[in-house]
Amino acid sequence: MTNSRLALAEKACSFLSASTDPFHAVHHAIQKLEAAGFQALQYRHNFPALQKGGKYYYTVHHSTLVAFTIGNKLADDDFGFHLIGGHTDSPNLAVKPNSKKPPKNGCVQLAVACYGGGLWHTWFDRDLSVSGKVLIRNGERLEPKLVQIRDPVARVSTLCIHLQSPDERAAFKVNTEDHTSPILATTTATTAQHELEKGATEQLDAWQQGQEPALMQRIARELQIDVHQIADFELSLYDTQPAAIGGLNQEFLYSARLDNLATVFCAVEALAAHDPADDTDIAMICCFDHEEVGSVSSHGAGSPVMGEAIRRVSAALGVTELSTIKAKSFCLSIDQAHAVHPNYASKHDSQHAPVLNNGLVVKTNCNQRYTTNSLTGFVVREIARKKDIPIQEFAGM
């Protein structure tokens, strides 16, 4: 691997390791954008007049990011949007609204639910921790805070071999309700429940009474607040093993959340480095939450967020007629493609079998699950040809 590629891969590893949930992914993307001169806009307020040559961003619910640059040579009403769409979420074990479970056989466990389409057996026997967004009471106001517990505090353990029959081992199947509850502590080692109740029982609301006290105490300590200030949270578990570059020739990047933070990283890096001085259009990235569960939330890709972005940015430039604007726009949806697994090569169509490190993949689906058609596919291939980037093809079912 060349020095420049290795440096980029190491930057990607840092981003992947730090972005343990959608909220942290957006947070670290914003740090990169602000360092490149991007200005924050407020989603809940009208946009001010936007300037040609300007760089802007805003977030929706702290886990969806919209960022864009305005061409310095933008015509007043004759431009389009060059869009990249990706997603900030990945399959995970999400903490349930009532996180507390009754103590069981001397163990304190956490109530979790399986978010997205994960390979849940891969979560067993890993050093897990907790991260996400916490709402805290600050007087009469609610304030969002990000929390990221860095040390391993939870583990989903596999049943030992001695308590399984050969048939059970051969037919291992995860019961996502019973088998994925991580162990946080032993009941004899935690006094969090006693301390929480001793602190101010009368202040406990119904929501707090449903939470695991040991987790609440740890979150409060991480955020340096009183436990009774915690009003709600959106938390998930993550594997504490950091991303790494591997292989004998340092040609692989090993990490959790590659789908889809690898391409979010690329989109943010590209936009942050982009100079709109000679642009006649608007370059925009939309990094959505909730792709793994169908994109139908208030800030998923199926929501009005992208359409609103086009309308609001155009309006802030004095343009209200969007028909021609949209007709001149182009959206590139970027996600992951599955390379051929050498141990399971028969799972691929031999004519559409991407190989690791053999180039970008253009994904096509005749049932229109992807945005590729003859024109969009050609545009991507032509750009790649001019930049000497190899292209592979994948046909989805």
pLDDT tens digits, 296-322: 999 999 999 999 999 999 999 999 999
Q: Which of 244, 263, 223, 265 is nearest to 31 (CA)?
A: 265
Give the 3-state secondary structure of residue 82.
strand
Buried b (16+ CB within 10 A) or exposed e, 250-287: eeebebbbbbbbbbbbbbbbebbeeebeebebbbbbbb
The whole-number pLDDT of residue 203 equals 55
CATH for 3-90+257-336? Answer: 3.40.630.10
The whole-number pLDDT of residue 393 equals 97
What is the distance, to the nearest Å, from the Cα of residue 54 to the centroid of all Cα atoms in its chain? 26
For 218-265, the pLDDT digits (tens) are: 999 999 999 999 999 999 999 999 999 999 999 999 999 999 999 999
Tokens found for residue 47: 């946009």
Q: Burial of 205 by CB count in 10 Å (0-12 exposed, 13-18 middle, 19+ buried)?
A: exposed
10-residue averages of pLDDT along the chain (397 residues): 90 99 99 99 96 98 99 94 98 98 94 97 97 96 98 96 87 88 85 55 74 96 96 98 97 97 98 98 99 97 98 96 96 95 94 96 94 95 97 90
Mention every residue, 6+ apart, whose C-beta is less than 8 A from residue 140.
none
What letter represents residue 370's amino acid? Y
The whole-number pLDDT of residue 117 equals 95
What are the C-alpha distances in Å from 305 to residues 66, 154, 298, 358?
9, 35, 8, 34
Give 53-59 contacts, CB < 8 A, sequence gap 24+.
53/276, 53/277, 55/276, 57/30, 57/33, 59/26, 59/30
Please tell me whether the overall predicted TM-score, pTM, comes out greater than 0.85 for this model.
Answer: yes
SS (H, E, C) 349-378: CCCCCCCCCCCEEEEEECCCCCCCCHHHHH
The whole-number pLDDT of residue 191 equals 63
Q: Which CATH superfamily is domain 92-239 in?
A: Aminopeptidase i, Domain 2 (2.30.250.10)
Going from N- to C-terminal start, the domains of the chain cover: 3-90+257-336, 92-239
